[in-house]
Chains A and B, each alone.
Chain A
Amino acid sequence: MVQSMDIRRRILEITSIASAIIIWEIIARIINKKYILPSFTEVVTAFLELVSGGELYRDILTSLNFFAIGMGVAIAVGIPLGIMMGWFKTIDKAVDPIIEMIRPIPPLAWIPFAILWFGLTQYAAGFVIFVGAVFPILVNTYTGFRNTPRVLVESGKVLGCIKNRDLIFRIALPAALPSIATGVRVGMGVGWMCVVAAEMFGVSTYGIGWKIWHWNDLHHMDMVLTYMLVLGLIALVIDRLFRYIVQEWWLKWQTGVVV
């Protein structure tokens, strides 16, 4: 029963993707201008060329490197700061106005300063991704801490967990983990979107984002579309992987899907 439902859902999924591809192919063939809409077959051909040439791996690794730098710092800054603000009211009051000022600024607006502060290096690209990723992480960590059920903190106190350090690490942090996981996940989504912009200003001659601009400058729209799809596909893989890790390891104690 359950199995047949599963199979039916699969069939539906495959049919929907297949028809999207077919419609795409038909539209592209009717328009018949590669630079307006490359067809599915053209994109597949371009993709296979990229894979066999090995260039794609270097692009992916370059982008993932920037992404890892940005995400790493975003996590290293966002979670501790979120914890401090969530736990200590004075820190919250002192830092919150500054955060609220900076938060609405789009990550792309930071590009000039990214270059001036970090030069044309991987850290400049990482910085732009960091700006995109840090706030969702910070805000969700903060909210998670703020919403720690009072009864859990008091249970801890009654059981001998009195010091702030113990209360933070043994109670508030684990209680906030689902919220933090959501923040990291949203942050990764935003950060990955910033990759395209982060690679625009010439920190490398490889990278998925850079190649989108590169091939756009040369009007090879089949390549542009191929790299766009690669960008989306990797985002999907990262997200699924993260969700799997979180559910299997981190938040096994939770009921159902919360992340």
Chain B
Amino acid sequence: MDIGKILLEKEPFSDIMMGNAAVVRAMIEAGVEVVTTYPGSPTPEIAEAARAVLKYESPFYFEYSTNEKVAAEVAFGASLNGRLSVVFFKSVGLNVASDSVVQFSLLEPQGGLVIILGDDPGANSSQNEQDNRHFARMTNIPVLEPADPQQVYEMFIEAVEISVENKMPVFLRMTTHVCHAKSRVSFGDRTIVRSGRGPSFDPDFGEYIPLTSAVAPMKKRSILKLGKIRERSENSRFNYLTDRNASKGIIICGLPSLSLSDLLSEIEDKPDVLTIGMVWPLPLSFICDFCENHDEVLIIEELDDFIEKEVKAAAFDRGLKLKIIGKTEPDDFIGELNQQNLRHFINSKWPELGLKSPAVPLSALTEIKPRPAQLCPGCGHRSAFYAIKKALKEDDITVADIGCHTLGYMRPYEFGKVLLSMGHSNGTGAGLSLFNRTRRIVTILGDSTFFHAGLPGIINAVRNNHDITLIVMENGTTAMTGHQDHAGSKADSESGKKKISIKAVLEGLGVEAVYEVDTYSQSSLTKAVDDALAVKGFSVAIARHPCMLKFTRENRHRGITPDRQAGIDPAKCKNIEACIKVFGCPSFMVNKETGSISVNKELCIGDGSCVQVCPVSAIGIKKKNEAEHE
């Protein structure tokens, strides 16, 4: 199956499609010309689908930008120039982008601009579960929230129409399990380009300088536009009523509306349901009419009480007398509203509705310890942690950052005691180093993060002479999110993409002590970290090794599979378990009855990074067929 080809189909068609791929078809049908992103779950598959398309045709320009702020600015600039543009990133990406995004609605992007947010209720793969609808209120940007892949496609096209018509950005808020949901989606054809390409950049279309006295009229214009879009919301087909003439009503939006339909199938006396797809601006008249026709209305929304507060205020203004039930308990604000959590929520608010109790109690689900994530077999980060730890003293303070190497905080490495956000480590580390003469501060950064948000903290540390040792984990890729290239990835002469050397950047910034070591050379890395720690002020060790998951995958695509494998010499092995308890490669298994250690052939890639770890030299690397005969 070639998703690129499928998405480029000329005629209307339908196919089983992930939300993240369906949105790319919508981009093609709408005539999007510029697509930018910085990778982050749950959105990376949007980029994968977009890049698959580019193998055959170039309906749009695509780039992985340095971070979300730059990505948003590139899309904004392109829209100023009349190009219909899209930027997408994960929930917390909006924090990074927001310094620019908050101005978007003050100005008028001419070509249309859709911002796709991958929000993550349940924090499946994020450092928090922030509800980005709050940004909509702050920035005067409309929000559409699809519940399934078909709606993803349809709402994207609606978002484009709203954006082009009103010359303002629109958020398409896709939550994790909408991004990744798969179902059959019906698409249109490619002949109707729904966007009107705007004229190319002209400052007269502005004003584009939001300063002092210019701000007030710009703000007023955006509020007026939002009022106009509210009218559209009142009549939008994405806000709809399921009317059964009940006395109870539910207001709901997004994926939880599908969980609700599952739950309501259990009962005869169903409440009426008002489903909201256009979340901002809310269709308040439509909602108030609904409220007026019911004695009690339950508001169901994931995470915060965003709609609830609006509805209660509007009902108050109109003097409505019904009971509006919303969030009261801390748990009401937490997690995804899948069936089990929604069941709990409804049963706690409306026990009389008669939903069943859960087949498996929520407590039983949290009782079982989850399988901890681990670094992959052969991962250079593992070798690095093993070596770095040898240079550290018990009371040194290690500061984690975001990437695969975050997993270093877990056993057996326990490197990294505090985590905030991408690139925080040198800022937080600097603060920790103040008034701290005896405990040394060791920070970490991945190479993608180095460019994304790492540099300001580094520059701060250099300028203010903070006593920190930074380890840069350079694996050539943005590994955690699925191996996207970044500014330090290899150059590409065809597209003119340049590789920026981290070492050269650090030297250019005037960092005097920069050590570089391949992480598989464990004793050299230990020494490098030792030496770096001895330097007063800011020092760096670049711990380098290519991402082995990417390496083995790419090899496999070329028909090359690992031909070597670690083996344990039973005559030498003394069951010390350093390979397991200190090094922690998942390829080593213990037989709990006999205590003997063996190698899981399904996992080992024969990289050999473990060999130096065994104190009795029992680990060897052999050709695969030899290892198998042991």
Task: Tell me if chain B binds chain A.
Answer: no
Interface residues of A (CB under 8 A from B): none
